[in-house]
Amino acid sequence: MPELPEVEVLVRHLAPLLKGKTIRAINVRRTAVLAPTTVAEFMGTLLGGKFTGLTRRGKYLMFTLRAAGTGDPFLLVGHLGMTGRIYLQRKSAPLPKHAAVAMELGAARFVYEDPRYFGRLTLDTRGPAKLGPEPFAPEFTVSYLAGALGRSAQAIKVRLLDQTLVAGVGNIYASEALFRAGISPRLAARKLRPAQIAALRRAIRGVLALAIRRGSTLPLDFSGGPRGDRLFYHGSAPVADGLAREMLRVYDRAGLPCPTCGAAIRRLVQAARSTFYCPACQCR
Partner DNA sequence: CACCATGTTCCTTG
Partner DNA sequence: CCAAGGAACATGGT
**Site residues for DNA per CB under 7 A:** 1-3, 6, 32, 58-59, 79, 81-83, 97-98, 115-118, 127, 130, 152-155, 158, 161, 163, 170-172, 218, 270-274
56 is catalytic: no
273 is catalytic: yes
What's the order of all strands across the beta sheet hosting 50-57? 50-57, 60-66, 73-79, 120-122
Residues 6+ positions from 234 with CB-CB distance below 8 Å:
221, 222, 223, 227
- Which of 23/158 has CB closer to DNA? 158
How is residue 113 annotated by DSSP? Answer: E
In the chain, which ranges are continuous DSSP H helix? 4-18, 39-46, 126-129, 142-149, 156-160, 171-181, 194-213, 241-247
- Which of 60/108 has CB closer to DNA? 60
- Which of 69/238 has CB closer to DNA? 238
Q: Does the CA dihedral 28-2-274-149 come out positive or negative?
A: negative
Q: How far is the CB of 252 from DNA (least distance, A)?
A: 7
- Which of 24/118 has CB closer to DNA? 118
Task: Give the end-to-end CA distance of the chain in Å, rounded to a whole number.
Answer: 30
Distance (Å, rounded) from C-alpha 156 to C-alpha 241? 29
CA angle 224, 230, 233 (to 5 degrees): 40
Distance (Å, rounded) from C-alpha 152 to C-alpha 252? 27
Q: How far is the CB of 187 from DNA (least distance, A)?
A: 12
- Which of 89/216 has CB closer to DNA? 216
Write down the catalytic residue from 57, 59, 109, 249: 59
Residues 6+ positions from 40 with CB-CB distance below 8 Å:
none
Q: How far is the CB of 30 from DNA (least distance, A)?
A: 8
> What are the catalytic residues?
2-3, 59, 273
